Every structure is written in C-alpha cells, then in structure tokens.
Structure 1
Amino acid sequence: MGIEEIFKALACRWRVEILKEIAQKDLCMCELEAMKHLDPSTLSRHISVLKKAGLVDVIREGKRKRLILKDPRILELIELAERIAEGRE
C-alpha cells in the first residue's frame, strides 16, 4: 500500500461514503448494496480499490462478506479534506 492508492481510494465519493458507513459499524456487502443502491459488481470494484489501499478488510462469514475499517484514522484525513474543500479551518 502506498499513499497513491490511499488518495486514489478517497478520490471517489462512493468509496468515501462506504468508509464512513463501515466506520459506524461493520457491514456486509449486501447491506451496503441496499443502502447505497449499488449493483454487486460496482460495489465489488469499489471494495477492491479500498482493499488495495489497505483501508478495509473483507471477512467471509459463510456466504456473507463483512467489511471492516482497518484504520479509523482515515476518517480524520477525510474530515480534514472536507474542511479544506469547504474553506473551513
């Protein structure tokens, strides 16, 4: 994992939303599909980018795939970027 992969992962609003959702609680992919109205292949591509960046883990539980945020500090980076984008200090 490198800094490029992290910023690539954060460059998409869907992936940022996914990170925020799983920061609240671990979710299975089927729950995220329903919440975000994404088809399974689209969600899978987003999760793949997040995994490559080292931001999430996917845990298999039978047929379910549970998503876990690996490092909650990423939320601080997201919040800082949002504040910068909005012109706040």
Structure 2
Amino acid sequence: MGVEEIFKALSCKWRVEILKEIAKRDLCMCELEAMDHLDPSTLSRHIAVLKRAGLVDVIREGKRKRLVLKDPRVLELVELAEKIAEGRQ
C-alpha cells in the first residue's frame, strides 16, 4: 500500500462516507447497500479501491461479507483534510 493509493481512495466522497460508516461498527455489505443508496456493483468497486489501499478488510462469514476498518487513524487523516478544506471556503 502506497500513499498514492490511500489518497486515491480518499478522493471520493462515497468512499469517505463508507469508511465513516464502517468506523462506527463493522458492517455487512448488504447494510451498506441499504444505507448508501449505491447499487451493488458500484459499492463493490468502491470497496475494492478501499481494500487495495489497505484501509478495509473484507471478512467472509458464509454468504455474508463483513467490512472492517483496518486502521482507525485513517479517520484522523479524513478529519484533518476536512478541516483544511473548510479553511479554504
């Protein structure tokens, strides 16, 4: 995982929202589909980007896929970026 992959993953508002939801509690893919109003294929692509960046793990439990935040410090990075962005507005 390189820093480029992390910032690429964080460059999309949907992926940031997915990370925030997973940080609250580990979620099943089906729960995210219901909350984010994203179709399953789009959600899967976003999860793949987050996974490649090393930000989430996907744990298979039978037919279910549970999403787990690998390192909660990524939320500190998101919060800092949001504060910086607010300062420019």
Q: Residue 33 of structure 1: SS of its match in structure 2?
A: helix
1:6 aligns with: 6
CA displacement at 1:12 relative to structure 2: 0.1
Which structure 1 residue ranges, 4+ long, deviate > 4 Å from structure 2?
none
Give identity over the alignment, percent.
Answer: 86
Question: Given the alignment of the two structures, is residue 79 of structure 1 paired with residue 86 of structure 2, yes or no?
Answer: no
Normalising by the residue count of structure 2, what TM-score does the alignment of the two structures yield?
Answer: 0.97
2:39 aligns with: 39
Q: Residue 59 of structure 1: SS of its match in structure 2?
A: strand
Which residue type is aligned with residue 63 of structure 1? K
| Partner Cα distance (1:26, 1:72) in 2 | 12
CA displacement at 1:69 relative to structure 2: 0.1
Normalising by the residue count of structure 1, what TM-score does the alignment of the two structures yield?
Answer: 0.97
| Partner Cα distance (2:5, 2:11) in 1 | 10
Q: Residue 38 of structure 1: SS of its match in structure 2?
A: coil
| Partner Cα distance (2:41, 2:72) in 1 | 26
Structure 1 alignment gaps of length 5 or more:
none
Q: Residue 42 of structure 2: SS of its match in structure 1?
A: helix
CA displacement at 1:75 relative to structure 2: 0.3
CA displacement at 1:22 relative to structure 2: 0.3
Count of matched residue positions in the alignment of Structure 1 and Structure 2: 88
Which residue type is aligned with residue 47 of structure 2? I
Q: Residue 65 of structure 1: SS of its match in structure 2?
A: strand
| Partner Cα distance (1:11, 1:37) in 2 | 19
1:63 aligns with: 63
Q: Over aligned residues, Cα RMSD in angstroms?
A: 0.9
